[in-house]
Homo-oligomer: A and B are copies of this chain.
Amino acid sequence: MNHYAHSTRLLVAIDCIIFGFDGEELKLLLIKRRFEPEKGKWSLMGGFVNEEEDLEVGAERILHELTGLHNIYVEQLQTFGKVDRDPVERTLSVVFFALINIHNHDEESVKSHSACWISLKQMPKLIFDHEKMVQIALERLRYKAALHPIGFELLPQQFTIPQLQKLYEAIYDLKLDRRNFSRKILSTGLLLDTGEKNVNSATKKAVLYRLNKEKYESNFNNFWYFMPVTT
């Protein structure tokens, strides 16, 4: 009667690609793997799916274990399932990507996992197919950030337009025109002037904005076209 009985059961892992932005560069939170095979090598943070745990819950568990954070931006990327992607035993990996404010995580748990923020431009070799995962995550981030306001997930609560522009320039690895960028961003109505100014600046202090959460949430799935087609 049980049509399922003779089918193969597979190990299923969850791996998390965690993006952060330090004001200059786009970075990934990577760990040094703590068990064989490939012990000591650079890797994405991951873990196996628990028996009684939904995939999203598993991703949040793993993200919390490393960063100490809850309620962060997480999105399922895709599932990697090449037969030989793990040398020990066939293992599927359901990959999630997360965007966090790079200053918000728990330093203790990051340290205890031998984790580091590493610039995308200085990526070390990663285990298994994790480099491919990162490549596809970066493509997804670039795709999504061009059309939806996810960039804000990488910034602090208050930020200036020049900071936002630097973020976009880091994501796409290009230079944008300051004046056109400002005009486009302000026209979205997503930014609320806080009245305050950025005291850190060495020259003219830029206005600090915060996200219009209402508009952000209700119109998230709109197409915004943040990036110019040329330039």
Contact = CB atoms under 8 A, between A and B. Distances in A.
Contacts of A8: 11-12, 48-51
B88 A4 contact: yes
A interface majority secondary structure: loop
B52 A79 contact: no
Interface residues of A, number: 36
B3 A83 contact: no
B3 A35 contact: yes
Interface in A7-21: 7-12
A147 to B, nearest CB: 8
Contacts of A4: 11, 48, 88-89, 91
Interface in A146-194: 146-147
B81 A54 contact: yes
Contacts of A147: 147
Interface string A37-80: 00000000000111111110000000000000000000010110
A92 interface: yes
Contacts of A211: none
A203 interface: no
6 contacts: A4-B88, A8-B12, A8-B48, A49-B81, A53-B83, A55-B82
Interface of A: 1-4, 7-12, 35-36, 48-55, 76, 78-79, 81-83, 88-92, 94, 146-147, 223, 229
For the complex of A and B, list the 9 residue pairs with the smallest distance between their C-beta atoms, beginning with the closest.
Answer: A9-B9, A55-B81, A7-B48, A3-B35, A8-B51, A79-B79, A76-B78, A10-B12, A79-B94
